[in-house]
Amino acid sequence: MNVDLIIGLAAEAIKVTLLLSAPMLVVGLTVGLIVSIFQAVTQIQEMTLTFVPKIVAVMVALIIALPWMINLMVTYTDKLFHNIPMYIK
């Protein structure tokens, strides 16, 4: 294994990790921003108002994105296992 191959594997792993986490992070950020704007407008500073909608939204996003995420993980793992002979050389 040479340095370029290792860097390529690490870059691909980071890319897959970012793609897997992106749906939940984007939804959590969006819902958090909406709740923050709502709190600023109404001047309600309730702590549960910030956490509960984010948790629910992230769970919904996880359920919706789960088939795509599983497909991405299986594809990455399959590609990794099929290329093992190339990595050993």
- Give residue 47's pLDDT: 80
> What 8-state DSSP symbol labels residue 36?
H
The alpha helices in the chain, defined as continuous H runs, are 3-42, 47-82, 84-88
Digitized pLDDT (tens) for each residue of the chain, 89 residues in all:
788 888 999 999 999 999 999 999 999 999 999 999 998 898 888 888 889 999 999 999 999 999 999 999 999 999 999 988 888 87
Measuring CA to CA, which residue among 17, 11, 5 is closest to residue 73?
Answer: 17
Angle at CA of residue 14, ends 23 and 86, nearest 5°: 130
Directed axis angle between helix 47-82 and helix 3-42, to 10°? 160
Domain segments of the chain: what residues? 3-88
- Give residue 71's pLDDT: 97
Using CA of residue 60, residue 62, residue 65, residue 66, what is the dihedral sign?
negative
